[in-house]
Amino acid sequence: MKKYIEISEEVYNRLVNGESVEGTMKMTSKPRGINFNGWKRKAPKRYKERKIGDVDYGFLTKTEKHITRHERFPLSLGLNGIQSAMSRDNKQSLGIVYDEITNNQ
């Protein structure tokens, strides 16, 4: 039994290039016919990060949608040292964010 699958030119080109194609396959009203529709998906958009400031144990970055704080604390500080460093870095970060937001308005 032979079945023929109808695909668009775009799907065929993607298969020839070795790319995978996701989509739906359905029986057509024609006898012995199957139709394949490839989904047209877009790649997720990546926002570029821009460094806006440094704190004692890390830095802050800004994208179009978020402000992110990256920090690393050495274990040699101990629990109390890490807690005090976190609170100090938090105050510094808030100052940097305040300056960034007020300068851009």
The ranges assigned to domains in the chain are: 4-38, 50-103
pLDDT at 31: 66
The neighbour count for residue 62, using CB atoms within 10 Å, is: 20
Q: Of residues 83 and 1, which shows the higher confidence score?
A: 83
Provide the 3-class DSSP secondary structure of residue 98: helix
Mean pLDDT, rounded, for 28-35? 71
pLDDT at 30: 67
Report DSSP state, residue 64: S
**CA distances, 71 to each of 12, 47, 58 (Å):** 48, 20, 4
Inform me whether the pLDDT recorded for 92 exceeds 90. Answer: yes
pLDDT at 88: 95
Mean pLDDT, rounded, for 51-71? 94
Q: Give the global pTM.
A: 0.56
